[in-house]
């Protein structure tokens, strides 16, 4: 394990050494450190600290684990004049994110209809590798989607303006440039709008099991036993292709800019460079694609509920509480060395967690801070948190994004051999549908850390505050 100095009960730091320009800071409790040190994630956090223009610290969240270039659960901010932009600091699934929806329904309203509802969701929201079929559009329409985001979906009748108000960035970032997106990426985007994808992506019907902060819960409309929906997905093959394309571009360009780093997976170029600006335009296109993708899935989720319960939208009342983005780079203003500075914040497997009073928050959440949505695993629980003033001071307004894997997919599949994971969950009242047994096996609860530990570490560090615990009833997986 790297030499860690204790900063507080839930924060440790690795001092700069070698070519590190800033320290690497890990938010975690002491009993989490051995698990964190079991893979190369801490080394990756140190590698990030070598990057030109990085300010503050290379930050790792308690759900940190090994990833491509940056660790998953990594946050880094770069000076806009001397800093760099890195596809590995955003991730392959650009704007992988989470939407939480509340409803007028209580858990008992589903009862014997739950299996039917899960089957209907599985039909309405296509899953799996390369899944297609929810919506097929032309290449020209894809380009329009990349500029308008969720607002395009609402314009086409998939949801309402009330949804857009509760999405990070209102479901659309400016500066998207589909002209910097490859034709292959555009082609991949024509058939995947409204699809969940594979891996750890899921759609979960759950309920509010516990409330810890009554004021924040009331602001979000949460009440005990309330039926909720979590949608976790991203930019699908479109975003993957954008990342893949620009990793090659930047890998070839680094020498030209005199950038040498300990890991070539950190391929990057100056933000102001032609390559950096082109990647920003393409990345923002993928961000908007993902916003539109989740908006279409939310609309089809509403339809599945209404069809199953044989009633209208007023009775079901599915509304968007909030939607957060992971795997993203954005220009924001944060305190650096005692003064406010515009920086380019890379969040890879990390959630924006703006504190109370931030002007970018919806009016209903100004007094509580930004809702933060932390999925666990399909057999246990997930959490709703809020952002804090401490996060604004220490982590560039960021917190954790989930439980974090403790097993590779191969290990998880091996451990599940001879078991019927879906039946085990059904015996506990959780209905699961997946594209294959393999997908379900790879995502069983034992493959993940206990998300409660992750959330408690963030609360102990002061970078987010717990509002409610949600428990699953029905899950569809890719």
Convert the pLDDT of each residue in 354-392 to its tens digit. 999 999 999 999 999 999 999 999 999 999 999 999 999
Query: What is the radius of gyration, based on Cα positions, of the chain?
Result: 21
Q: Which of 180, 232, 326, 401 is catalytic?
A: 401
The residue segments making up the domain with residue 192 are 5-83+98-477
Specify whether 401 is catalytic: yes
299 sits in the region (left: phi over 0; alpha: psi -120 to 50; else beta) called: alpha
The structure tokens 């901010």 sit at 77
Q: What is the pLDDT of residues 413-466, one digit of tens each?
A: 999 999 999 999 999 999 999 988 888 999 999 989 899 999 999 999 999 999
Q: Within a domain: residue 355?
A: yes
Distance between CA atoms of residues 394 and 385, nearest Å: 17
41 within a domain of the structure (yes/no) = yes
CATH number of the domain that 452 lies in? 3.90.1860.10
Tell whether 454 is covered by a domain: yes
- Bridge partner list, 334: 341
Q: Which residues pair with 346 in a beta bridge?
A: 76, 329
Confidence of residue 478 (pLDDT cuts 50, 70, 90): confident
Q: Which is nearest to 26 in space by CA: 39, 12, 14?
A: 12
Q: What percent of the chain has pLDDT over 70?
A: 99
| Cα–Cα distance measured from residue 103 to residue 205, given in angstroms and rounded to the nearest whole number | 11
Say which residues have a Cβ less than 8 Å from residue 90's Cβ, sequence separation at least 6.
243, 283, 327, 328, 329, 346, 348
Residue 198: pLDDT band with limits 50, 70, 90? confident
Predicted pLDDT at 435:
84
Examine the pLDDT at 134 and tell me if it is beyond 90: no
Domain count, the chain: 1
State the average pLDDT over residues 120-139: 85
User: Coil, strand or helix: which one is 305?
Assistant: helix
At residue 1 the predicted structure's pLDDT band, cuts being 50, 70 and 90, is low
Span 318-324, average pLDDT:
98
Which residues 6+ apart lie within 8 Å of 339 measured at CB? none
Say if CB 439 and CB 390 are below 8 A apart. no
pLDDT of residue 2: 65
pLDDT tens digits along 78-107: 999 999 999 999 999 999 999 999 999 999
Residue 45 lies in a domain: yes
Would you say residue 90 lies in a domain? no
* 92 lies in some domain: no
Neighbours of 1 (CB within 10 A): 10
Mean pLDDT of the chain: 95
Question: In the chain, helix, strand, coil percent, each to 5?
Answer: 40, 25, 35
With contact defined as beta carbons under 8 Å apart, do 208 and 223 qualify?
yes
For 15-28, what is the mean pLDDT? Answer: 97
- Domain assignment present for residue 214? The answer is yes
- Indicate whether 89 belongs to any domain: no
Confidence of residue 406 (pLDDT cuts 50, 70, 90): confident
Residue range 176-200: mean pLDDT, rounded:
95
């Amino acid at each position: 394990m790297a030499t860690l100095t204790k900063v507080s009960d839930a924060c440790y730091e690795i001092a700069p050494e070698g070519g590190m320009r800033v320290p690497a800071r890990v938010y975690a409790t002491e009993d989490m450190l051995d698990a964190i040190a079991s893979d190369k994630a801490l080394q990756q956090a140190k590698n990030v600290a070598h990057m030109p223009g990085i300010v503050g610290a290379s930050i790792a969240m308690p759900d940190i684990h090994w990833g491509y270039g940056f660790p998953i659960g990594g946050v880094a901010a770069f000076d806009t004049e001397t800093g760099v932009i890195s596809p590995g600091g955003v991730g392959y699934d650009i704007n992988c994110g989470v939407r939480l929806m509340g409803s007028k329904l209580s858990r008992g309203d589903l009862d014997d209809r739950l299996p039917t509802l899960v089957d209907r969701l599985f039909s309405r929201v296509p899953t799996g590798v390369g899944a297609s079929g929810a919506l097929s559009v032309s290449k020209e329409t894809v380009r329009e989607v990349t500029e308008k985001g969720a607002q395009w979906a609402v314009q086409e009748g998939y949801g309402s303006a009330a949804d857009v108000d509760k999405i990070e960035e209102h479901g659309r970032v400016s500066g998207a440039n589909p002209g910097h997106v490859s034709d292959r990426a555009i082609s991949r985007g024509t058939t995947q709008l409204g699809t969940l994808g594979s891996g750890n992506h899921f759609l979960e019907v759950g309920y509010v099991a516990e409330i810890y902060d009554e004021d924040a819960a009331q602001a979000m409309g949460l009440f005990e036993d309330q039926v909720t929906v979590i949608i976790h997905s991203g930019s699908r093959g479109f975003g993957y292709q954008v990342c893949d394309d620009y990793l090659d571009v930047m890998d070839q360009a680094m020498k030209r800019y005199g950038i040498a780093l300990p890991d070539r997976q950190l391929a990057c170029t100056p933000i102001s460079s032609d390559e950096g600006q082109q990647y920003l335009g393409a990345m923002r296109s993928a961000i908007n694609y993902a916003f539109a993708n989740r908006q279409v899935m939310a609309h089809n989720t509403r339809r599945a509920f209404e069809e199953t319960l044989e009633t209208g939208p007023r009775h079901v009342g599915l509304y968007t509480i909030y939607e957060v983005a992971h795997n993203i780079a954005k220009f924001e203003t944060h305190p650096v060395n005692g003064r406010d500075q515009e920086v380019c914040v890379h969040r890879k497997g990390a959630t924006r967690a703006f504190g109370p009073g931030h002007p970018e928050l919806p009016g209903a959440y100004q007094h509580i801070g930004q809702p933060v949505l932390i999925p666990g695993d399909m057999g246990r629980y997930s959490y709703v948190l809020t952002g804090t003033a401490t996060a604004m001071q220490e982590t560039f307004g960021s917190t954790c994004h989930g439980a974090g894997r403790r097993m590779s997919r191969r290990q998880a599949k091996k451990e599940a051999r001879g078991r019927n994971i879906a039946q085990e969950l059904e015996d506990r009242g959780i209905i699961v549908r997946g594209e294959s047994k393999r997908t379900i096996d790879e995502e069983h609860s034992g493959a993940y850390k206990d998300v409660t530990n992750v959330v408690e570490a963030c609360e102990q560090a002061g970078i987010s505050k717990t509002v409610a615990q949600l428990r699953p009833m029905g899950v569809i997986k890719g």
